[in-house]
């Protein structure tokens, strides 16, 4: 479904609500739910990727330099903070 | 051309399972429950003996039965199940999911009272508790109708203009366990009438889809509206399919059936097998010069508003018989629906409701004469109650 959800009319709903294209969850930015976010201290990050591995929501992406940061799907659960080997991630309250 | 006039005596449950066999159901998942048992028992024999090429899945509950049916139907199989009373109640959450997913499963409900007190006998409280599940719901009056609609239900459910699960109701014991004369069909005729299922959507590794996805608040209402429109619009194809069957068999069906309603000022209404008893009562009252007729609702969902209004035009008093209660409410489900359908009309009849025949309580033809007399007296003095329970002692 290429349209924004709040623009779709009932006539455009596929029979049975079937989704004929894969990957529709991409359009759903679960990061909206977040009340706090993990922030990495790059001076202490060893680029081991444990945070990326343990993230249950694929909410962490690797950048070109091999460091990690959240993407639009991070719900702010804090598992990465708990599991970080060097303790370089901390949760920061979302202000806006 | 009308063929196959030969009538065969058999238990109605067996006739229903024969209809499912003729329809070439490919997957059946069911759990036995009185009074539905003979239907699935016979189907399981047919499968075991190689007389029906289908997957018969014996499950541990009705919740699982319908869940298994969802899987089979989603995989593209013509799918059937049957249940009753507590079994239908145990299916409850899956009933809504089946219709929301628009899977064309056909189910027979052998209507039986819901506990408690525990009762295995007939009334309509089971299906009325599942009234709003979003399936097509048809009521039958005798064995022939149960047979006919069991075949037609597949064609209706699978029609690409419909794509909706469909329930065929028949009264437990009163129909399921009696031997009646049926005009059956040969396989070739049914095959021509009901071609192979072409699923609208199915699970296919070469063309993957997602079924049963969730909907956020931004989409949920639109999904429900699509379902509501589809169910309402199934009316046209249902009539078309019934018409085709009529031409094939000589047995014609309408969403609202009438019996001796010409010039009737008083109309008795109900659904299911009780209508045959009421016909005898109407005959007797007509002989006494009472201008009474009978209106039966066959198609309960989608509700045939226009047909009902046409059938009741000219009536001054309508006596609606319910076979279920809406405890603590103002009316039984059929009464509520009829009153609601008639309320917007400028000229409308007096509509009184009676709950009759609960939990297997027998209803004799004399009962309808009594109801008519009671309703006339109540109208004269102003109704003393929202609705009445007929025959209750004390």
Residue B324, pLDDT above cutoff 70: yes
B232 touches chain A (CB under 8 A): no
Inter-residue contact B55 to B183 (CB < 8 Å): no
Residue A24 C-alpha, separation from nearest chain B C-alpha, in angstroms: 9
* Radius of gyration, alpha carbons of chain B: 21
- Residues in chain B with CB shorter than 8 Å from the CB of A9 are 222
Say what the pLDDT of residue A24 is: 82
Across chain B, what does the average pLDDT equal?
Answer: 97
Residue A22, pLDDT above cutoff 90: no
Say what the pLDDT of residue B3 is: 54
Distance between CA atoms of B153 and B136, rounded to whole angstroms? Answer: 9
> pLDDT per residue over B344-366, tens digit each?
999 999 999 999 999 999 999 99
Inter-residue contact B245 to B156 (CB < 8 Å): no
Collapsing DSSP to helix, strand or coil, B33 comes out as coil
The two counts, helices (H) then strands (E), for chain A are: 2, 4
Which residues neighbour B346 within 8 Å (Cβ) at sequence distance 6 or greater?
none
Domain layout of chain B by residue ranges: 7-249, 256-389
Which residues neighbour B393 within 8 Å (Cβ) at sequence distance 6 or greater?
none
Distance between CA atoms of A21 and A16, rounded to whole angstroms? Answer: 14
> pLDDT per residue over A40-77, tens digit each?
999 999 999 999 999 999 999 999 999 999 999 999 99
CA dihedral B325, B327, B331, B334 (to 10 degrees): -30
Distance between CA atoms of B258 and B114, rounded to whole angstroms? Answer: 29
Inter-residue contact B315 to B262 (CB < 8 Å): no
| Cβ contacts from A onto B, under 8 A | 58
Q: Whole-structure pTM over 0.80, yes or no?
A: yes
Q: Which of A28-32, B4-8, B202-206 has the lowest mean pLDDT?
A: B4-8
Backbone angles phi, psi at B219, to 5 degrees: -120, -20
Q: What is the ipTM of this complex?
A: 0.90
DSSP character string of B294-320? EEEE-EEES--HHHHHHHHTT-SEEEE
What fold does the segment set B256-389 form as a domain?
Rossmann fold (3.40.50)
Say what the pLDDT of residue A25 is: 82
Which secondary-structure segment (H or E) carries B376?
A: helix B365-381
Q: Which residues partner with A91 through β-bridges?
A: A38
Say what the pLDDT of residue B298 is: 98
Domain covering B7-249: architecture: 3-Layer(aba) Sandwich (3.40)
Domain layout of chain A by residue ranges: 29-93
Backbone angles phi, psi at B253, to 5 degrees: -125, 145
Residue B208: closest C-alpha in chain A: A20
For B114, other C-beta atoms within 10 Å of its C-beta total 21
Q: Tell which residue, B274, B317, B273, B270, has the closest CA to residue B292.
A: B317
Scanning B9-103, the segments in alpha helix (DSSP H) are 12-22, 37-48, 62-74, 85-90, 92-100
- Residues in chain B with CB shorter than 8 Å from the CB of A20 are 209
> pLDDT per residue over B202-227, tens digit each?
999 999 999 999 998 999 999 999 99
Are B100 and A17 an interchain contact pair (Cβ–Cβ within 8 Å)? yes
Q: Which residues partner with B57 through β-bridges?
A: B29
For A29-93, which CATH class? alpha beta
Are B211 and A18 an interchain contact pair (Cβ–Cβ within 8 Å)? yes
Inter-residue contact B315 to B251 (CB < 8 Å): no
Inter-residue contact A56 to A79 (CB < 8 Å): yes
> pLDDT per residue over B72-110, tens digit each?
999 999 999 999 999 999 999 999 999 999 999 999 999
B229 touches chain A (CB under 8 A): yes
Question: Does the bond joining B117 to the residue before it have cis omega, within 30 degrees of 0?
Answer: yes
Residue B309, pLDDT above cutoff 60: yes
B216 touches chain A (CB under 8 A): yes
Say what the pLDDT of residue B374 is: 98
Distance between CA atoms of A35 and A96, rounded to whole angstroms? Answer: 9
Collapsing DSSP to helix, strand or coil, B107 comes out as strand
Residue B40 C-alpha, separation from nearest chain A C-alpha, in angstroms: 28
Domains B7-249 and B256-389 agree in fold = yes
Angle at B20 between CA B19 and CA B25, to 5 degrees: 150
> pLDDT per residue over B112-150, tens digit each?
999 999 999 999 999 999 999 999 999 999 999 999 999
B208 touches chain A (CB under 8 A): yes
Q: Say what angle helices B217-233 and B92-100 make with each other, to 10 degrees.
A: 80
Residue B330, pLDDT above cutoff 90: no
Are A8 and B225 an interchain contact pair (Cβ–Cβ within 8 Å)? no
Say what the pLDDT of residue A5 is: 83
Angle at A64 between CA A59 and CA A69, to 5 degrees: 30
Residue B288, pLDDT above cutoff 70: yes
Residue B280, pLDDT above cutoff 90: yes
Say what the pLDDT of residue A96 is: 67
Assign residue B137 a region (left: φ > 0; alpha: ψ between -120 and 50; beta: otherwise): beta
Distance between CA atoms of B242 and B108, rounded to whole angstroms? Answer: 18
Residue B229, pLDDT above cutoff 60: yes
Residue A15 C-alpha, separation from nearest chain B C-alpha, in angstroms: 7
Distance between CA atoms of B300 and B131, rounded to whole angstroms? Answer: 9
A23 confidence band (pLDDT: 50, 70, 90): confident
Residue B134: closest C-alpha in chain A: A16
- Residues in chain B with CB shorter than 8 Å from the CB of A33 are none
């Amino acid at each position: 479904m290429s349209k924004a959800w709040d623009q779709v009319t009932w006539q455009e709903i596929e029979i049975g609500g079937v989704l004929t294209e894969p990957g529709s969850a991409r359009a759903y930015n679960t990061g909206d739910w977040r009340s706090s976010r993990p922030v990495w201290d790059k001076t202490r990050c060893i680029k081991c990727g444990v945070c990326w591995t343990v993230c249950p929501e694929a909410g962490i992406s690797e950048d070109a330099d091999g460091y990690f940061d959240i993407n639009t799907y991070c719900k702010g659960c804090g598992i990465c903070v708990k599991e970080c080997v060097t303790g370089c991630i901390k949760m920061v309250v979302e202000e806006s | 051309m009308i063929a196959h006039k030969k009538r065969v005596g058999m238990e109605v449950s067996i006739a229903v399972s024969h209809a499912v066999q003729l329809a070439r159901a490919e997957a059946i998942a069911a759990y036995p429950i009185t009074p539905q048992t003979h239907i699935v028992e016979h189907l399981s024999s047919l499968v075991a003996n190689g007389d029906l090429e289908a997957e018969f899945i014996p499950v541990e509950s009705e919740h699982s039965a319908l869940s298994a049916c969802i899987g089979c139907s989603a995989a593209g199989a013509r799918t059937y199940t049957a249940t009753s009373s507590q079994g239908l109640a145990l299916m409850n959450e899956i009933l809504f999911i089946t219709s929301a997913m628009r899977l064309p499963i056909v189910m027979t409900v052998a209507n039986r009272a819901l506990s408690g007190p525990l009762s295995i006998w007939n009334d309509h409280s089971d299906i009325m508790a599942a009234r709003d599940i979003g399936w097509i719901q048809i009521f039958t009056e005798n064995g022939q109708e149960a047979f006919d609609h069991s075949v037609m239900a597949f064609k209706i459910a699978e029609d690409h203009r419909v794509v909706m699960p469909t329930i065929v109701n028949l009264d437990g014991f009163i129909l399921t366990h009696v031997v009646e004369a049926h005009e059956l069909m040969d396989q070739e005729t049914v095959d021509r009438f009901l071609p192979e299922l072409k699923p609208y959507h199915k699970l296919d590794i070469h063309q993957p889809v997602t079924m049963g996805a969730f909907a956020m608040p931004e989409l949920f209402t639109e999904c429900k509206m699509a379902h509501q429109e589809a169910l309402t619009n199934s009316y046209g194809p249902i009539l078309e399919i019934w018409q085709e069957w009529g031409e094939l068999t000589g047995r014609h069906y309408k969403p609202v059936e009438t019996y001796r309603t010409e010039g009737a000022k008083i109309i008795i209404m109900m659904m299911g097998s009780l209508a045959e008893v009421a016909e005898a009562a109407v005959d007797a009252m007509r002989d006494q010069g009472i201008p009474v007729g009978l209106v039966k609702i066959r198609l309960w969902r989608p509700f045939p508003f226009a047909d009902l209004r046409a059938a009741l035009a000219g009536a001054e008093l309508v006596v609606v018989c319910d076979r279920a209660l809406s405890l603590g409410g103002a009316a039984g489900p059929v009464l509520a629906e009829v009153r609601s359908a008639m309320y917007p009309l400028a000229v409308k009849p007096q509509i009184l409701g009676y709950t009759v025949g609960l939990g297997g309580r027998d209803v004799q033809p004399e009962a309808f004469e009594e109801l008519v007399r009671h309703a006339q007296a109540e109208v004269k003095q102003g109704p003393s109650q929202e609705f009445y329970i007929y025959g209750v002692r004390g």
